[in-house]
Amino acid sequence: MREQLEQIRSRALAELAAEATESAIEDVRVRVLGRAGELTEIMRGMREVPAQERPAIGQLVNQIKTELEARIEALQGKLKEAALERSLTEARLDVTLPGAKIPRGHLHPITLTIENMLRIFNAMGFEIVATRDIEDDFHNFAALNFPPDHPAREMQDTFFLGGGLLLRTHTSNGQIRVMEQRRPPLAIVCPGNCYRRDELSVRASPMFSQIEGFMVDRAGRITMAHLKGVLTEFLRAFFGSDTAVRFRASFFPFTEPSAEVDISCLLCGGKGCRICKHSGWTEILGSGMIHPNVLRAVGYDPAEYQGFAFGLGVDRTALLRLGVEDMRLFFENDVRFLGQFPASNERFA
Ligand code: PHE
């Protein structure tokens, strides 16, 4: 019996060597100490042991049991420590490493241009009102005094949508939409996209941005002089006071008299380039005194009210202001190009 016990003990201890794996340890534990294990079996067979030897054998069993349990515990503790150590090294995080830089986006240069223009008009007391891109013939043409056979209505200019609807060809629909709803005094700017069936080129695009502006009050209060004053003030604020501005008599169905406004070409400084068609000047807006027929169309009495209106092309203005030579760059969305203008706000500041 004693020999048997010594055998169990030395075999178990040999198996519980320093490099024993978790499963090897568990095997020994079950085989020796388990409920049907070798030591339990011996205890069960105690009856056959002569009475005087029983206490000594019992003691030895307990001794071996305690010894093996302690050994197992020590080995398991070591394994646990090693596992923890391993996971700590693997997941090590160096908090002193520099972080990855997340590139920051910014508004499109055209959007920034619109915002800067609106800020100037707003500071002059103009209210900002957005109207609609999808329009009907009345608000885009008829109410603006376009005769039924006017060439601007033709297919090559206008995108017709069917059902009497079209994509607005200018923001002048904003005049009609606002005046239909409200009574003077009005000082309003309407920014928005416009659409014409033009090819995308160095200086034109089938979709472009305009800012419409108008000011209406009792007859005699608002004159052509106010129109010139407001626009000159705006252009000086936007382009700088050294930019030359000229008013040129023109024609629009919805204004009388009408004037187009040119500024000296900022790209070539007036020498002539492909953007200014080699004239040294660039046309950036149309304007005039609101035609009596337009006032009538919105239910105003032209003897009672009078006002001016203007429509400013944003894209070409942005192009000049930012020194870009080709309109197409604005619409190709190449981030290498767009990324050059994150500081546009500062340039306008
Ligand atoms: N709607 C005109 C255009 O698109 C611009 C304009 C607006 C002219 C208001 C006069 C008054 O060219």
Compute the distance from residue 243 Cα to the ligand 1 centre, in Å: 22
pLDDT at 348: 44
Compute the distance from residue 300 Cα to the ligand 1 centre, in Å: 20
d(CA 239, CA 243): 6
Per-residue pLDDT tens listing for the chain (349 residues)? 788 888 888 888 888 887 888 888 888 888 888 888 888 888 888 888 888 888 888 888 888 889 888 889 988 899 999 889 888 888 878 888 888 888 778 889 999 999 999 999 999 999 999 999 999 999 999 999 999 888 878 766 899 999 999 999 999 999 999 999 999 999 999 999 999 998 888 878 999 999 999 999 999 999 999 999 999 999 989 988 878 899 999 999 999 999 999 988 877 877 888 778 899 898 889 999 999 999 999 999 999 999 999 999 999 888 888 888 888 999 998 988 988 887 544 444 4
Q: Which long-range contacts (CB under 8 A, 24 or more apart) does 258-265 make?
A: 258/286, 258/287, 258/288, 259/227, 259/286, 259/287, 259/288, 260/285, 260/286, 260/287, 261/231, 261/235, 261/285, 261/286, 261/287, 261/310, 263/235, 263/239, 263/320, 265/320
Compute the distance from residue 211 Cα to the ligand 1 centre, in Å: 9
Angle at 227 between CA 224 and CA 228, to 5 degrees: 90
Pocket of ligand 1 (CB under 6 A): 170, 172, 212, 252, 255, 286-288, 309-311
Ligand 1: which atom is nearest the Cα of residue 194? 4
Compute the distance from residue 286 Cα to the ligand 1 centre, in Å: 5
Compute the distance from residue 130 Cα to the ligand 1 centre, in Å: 16
pLDDT at 251: 94
Q: Which fold has domain 109-348?
A: BirA Bifunctional Protein; domain 2 (3.30.930)
Ligand 1: which atom is nearest the Cα of residue 172? 1
Pocket test residue of 247, 252, 256 for ligand 1, highest count of atoms within 8 A of CB? 252
Compute the distance from residue 242 Cα to the ligand 1 centre, in Å: 25
Ligand 1: which atom is nearest the Cα of residue 285? 5
Pocket test residue of 153, 170, 291 for ligand 1, highest count of atoms within 8 A of CB? 170
Query: Which residue has a Cα nearest atom 10 of ligand 1?
Result: 287
Compute the distance from residue 123 Cα to the ligand 1 centre, in Å: 22
Query: Which residue has a Cα nearest atom 7 of ligand 1?
Result: 311
Has this prediction a pTM greater than 0.75?
Answer: no
Ligand 1: which atom is nearest the Cα of residue 214? 9
Question: 3-state secondary structure string, the chain?
Answer: CHHHHHHHHHHHHHHCCCCCCHHHHHHHHHHHHCCCCHHHHHHHHHHHCCCCCHHHHHHHHHHHHHHHHHHHHHHHHHHHHHHHHHHHHHCCCCCCCCCCCCCCCCCCHHHHHHHHHHHHHHHCCCEECCCCCEEEHHHHCHHHCCCCCCHHHCCCCCCEEECCEEECCCCCHHHHHHHHHCCCCEEEEEEEEEECCCCCCCCCCCEEEEEEEEEEEECCCCCHHHHHHHHHHHHHHHHCCCCCEEEEEEEECCEEEEEEEEEECCCCCCCCCCCCCCCCEEEEEEEEEECHHHHHHCCCCCCCEEEEEEEEEHHHHHHHHHCCCCCCHHHHCCHHHHCCCCCHHHHHC
Compute the distance from residue 144 Cα to the ligand 1 centre, in Å: 10
Compute the distance from residue 218 Cα to the ligand 1 centre, in Å: 22
